[in-house]
Amino acid sequence: MKPLESNDWVSSLSHIDFAFQPIVNIHTGVCYGCEALMRNYEAAGFKSISAFFDQAYQDNVLHQVDLVLREKAITKFSKMDCECQTKLFFNLDNRVLNSEDYQSGSTINILKRHRLPLDAVCFEISEKHKLKDAQTAVSILNVYRSQGFKIAVDDCGTGFSGFQMLYYTEPDFIKIDRFFIQDMEKDSNKRLFVSSMVNIAHLMGSMVIAEGVETKQEYYGCRIIGCDLIQGYFIQPPESDIHVLKSQYDHIRLLSECDQRNKNSEDKKLITTEMEYIEPVFYNYDIFEVFKKFRQQQDNSFFPVLNRNNEPLGVISEKSFKNYTFSPHGNALLQNPAFGKNLNKFISKFPIADIHTPVEKILEIYSHTENLKGILITESMKYKGFLSAHSLLKVLNEKNIAIARDQNPLTRLPGNTLIHEYVSEALHDTKNQYIFVYFDFDNFKPYNDSYGFRQGDRVILLFSELLRTRTEYANRFAGHIGGDDFFMGIHGISLKKAISDVSIMVRQFRNDVESFYDTGAIERGYILSKDRDGREKAFPLMTISAVVLELPALRSRVYSTEEISNIMAAKKKKAKKSPDKMSITKLDDTNNDLDYIYEMDVVYSQDIPDNCSSRIIPELGHREVQA
């Protein structure tokens, strides 16, 4: 290709620099790669990055400009510390793929000069521009992959080509756009979209990167849904100084380790027990060497194929060699040097799942493919083993048995055993803040006596579903103590946010439960029923009371479950008498001689100042309470 001759463009490009933003493993915080983000485009004379590339396209120098940018980004990337130097994610304007002067091999030469392997670069293809010739573009991308480069589809779900790009390119990575990640925990449609994209990606053997993660809640949402990698300001902003980038981000690792509600830990144990390790082959194996392994290990119908970092590229099956096996000249052909060591033509994409993935999600991935023998299991992106269809069903059955044993039979929420485990773990985790919420129906017995137990069960199910929706995607735990008593544990959000959520639940239940009464009762605002002494009495329509108790971070001692139960039991009466049906308490054990609790007589979050003024009362004495 001719070098860039335009003096204006040479001058503009001299100003351009790159900032790198880390992309990390969602479970471990290990830096997997860095995205190169263009900087100083204003000094180059452009209002935006888009304007920069649009002008290059109009001047018919887009490919030449792109090669200069690749050289700059790779040169800077090569100077990073080796332990952090993993993969460079480079944004490729997809219009380059239709450039008349496009030539392959340029990036390979750049990498060779800097002594970097080809799979150290991942090209991010955006959907923002419509391709003139999709088939040509896909052919070029396939050439990139055959050379060893990785491919990522960027801004997934926001561009012109929709799922066509995914279908034709079979990318190694799918990047979910920030639009869908933002406030995902509050938007069920966004959660549905992201969950669907994660399932599709894993079915294709692709990894998922969540872009623009900026809050702890977004982190938890991405992790629960099954994203593999995350990128955003919550990890680290883009940095022009490469020396401030880290090989591991401990705050991400600690969030994963300290998440006491991680239900998938038991799944991981079950998966580890049942999966088998099938000896893999590597991307640089000689083709005839792989062919011999099939003949030597006739029980294996496939082998996982790994790259230099032990990451699965797919599988190579005996079917791939079928034409050569039954050919009289097959062996000679496989040994022909013209075949080289490139296994790419024999590798097939294969569904993958991280070992932290819930068993139900693995089953969902498995069920979308016919005649699938199982799923490759990874941990920290590296090959861990193979979970066969038979083993997967066995794991699912064992999990269902365990769940049934420990959940409430009516609501299917965790029962007292799991509630006790959650509370005990939280109390011993003195470094972190937790919020406990105890819910109790008001006037449930009169309703049950008047309308019957079946209707009473329907009311219980009404609240259990309300509770489930409030605990499904944030870092929360929901439990059913029994009867009309429920529990919620919250970790990692402010007390103000927790109070706001609880107050919404209290009001929503009060509104929704009216539909369970007859018209006359609704108009009167009460029903007539017998009290505990057998006397007829007017009882108001049902409501629900909530006791909210915050355990602050950095507590000086471990409280017992009995102490916490006693405090919450004493506050239960106050909550029932309150017009807001809530009681809010914050433990404060900064006084070494005597423990205190702050009692707050405010409910709705908009009424709670950041520094709440409260009166201090001594810790309450013990009472026998079930909680």
CA torsion 333-336-341-347 (nearest 10°) is: -10
The string of pLDDT tens digits covering residues 435-477 is 999 999 999 999 999 999 999 999 999 999 999 988 876 678 9
Tell me, what's the pLDDT at 325? 58
What pLDDT was estimated at residue 176?
Answer: 93
What was the pLDDT predicted at 623?
A: 30
How far apart are the C-alpha atoms of 432 and 45, rounded to whole Å?
A: 49
DSSP code string of 27-64: TT-BEEEEEEEEE-TTTTT-SSHHHHHHHHHHTT-HHH
Q: Please indicate, yes or no, whether the overall pTM of this predicted structure exceeds 0.85.
A: no
Q: What token pair was written down for 77?
A: 């990337």
3-state secondary structure of 172: coil
In this prediction, residue 417 has a pLDDT band, given cuts at 50, 70 and 90, of confident
φ/ψ region of 356 (left if φ > 0, alpha if ψ in -120 to 50, else beta) reads: alpha
- The answer to whether residue 33 scores a pLDDT higher than 90 is yes
Q: Identify the pLDDT of residue 230.
A: 97
Asked whether the domain spanning 407-618 has the same topology as the one spanning 17-262, the reply is no
Tokens 């019957």 found at: 452
Enter the DSSP assignment of 311: -
**Amino acid found at 165:** M
Residues 6+ apart with CB under 8 A from 323: 330
Residue entry with tokens 């200069």: 68
Domain 272-397 fold is CBS-domain (3.10.580)
Integer-rounded Cα radius of gyration of the chain: 30
DSSP state letters, 408-459: -TTT-SB-HHHHHHHHHHHHH-TTS-EEEEEEEEESHHHHHHHH-HHHHHHH
Does residue 619 register a pLDDT over 50?
Answer: no
pLDDT score of 601: 43
Residue with the bigger pLDDT between 499 and 471: it is 499
Q: Give the pLDDT score at 258.
A: 65
CATH 3.30.479.30 assigned to domain 17-262? The reply is: no
Mean residue pLDDT of the chain comes to 84
**Residue of 494, 526, 503 lying closest to 612 (CA atoms):** 494
Residues linked to residue 207 through DSSP beta bridges, in sequence order: 173
> Is the pLDDT assigned to residue 118 strictly greater than 60?
yes
Residue carrying structure tokens 């066969």: 388
Four-point Cα dihedral 180, 182, 187, 189, nearest 10: 0
For 353, the 3-state DSSP assignment is strand
Q: CA 157 → CA 169, 176, 178, 222, distances in Å? A: 15, 7, 10, 16
Could you tell me the pLDDT band of residue 154, with boundaries at 50, 70 and 90? confident
Q: Which of 318, 386, 320 is CA-nearest to residue 352?
A: 386
Sign for the pseudo-dihedral over CA of 409, 413, 416, 421: positive
pLDDT given for residue 618 in this prediction: 28
* 134-138, 227-231, 610-614: the lowest-pLDDT one: 610-614
CB 118 within 8 A of CB 313: no
pLDDT digits (tens, 9 = 90+) for 269-307: 889 999 999 999 998 888 778 878 888 888 888 999 998
Which helix or strand (DSSP H or E) is residue 291 part of? helix 287-296
Residue 76, pLDDT > 60, answer yes
**Which two three-digit tokens encode residue 41?**
């485009």
The tokens describing 217, both together, are 């809640």
CATH of domain 407-618: 3.30.70.270
Contact predicate 320/343, CB 8 Å: no
The domain limits of the chain are 17-262, 272-397, 407-618
Q: Residues of the chain with pLDDT > 90: what percent? A: 49
pLDDT digits (tens, 9 = 90+) for 203-231: 888 999 999 999 988 998 898 888 999 99
pLDDT given for residue 84 in this prediction: 53
Q: Mean per-residue pLDDT for 540-544? A: 97
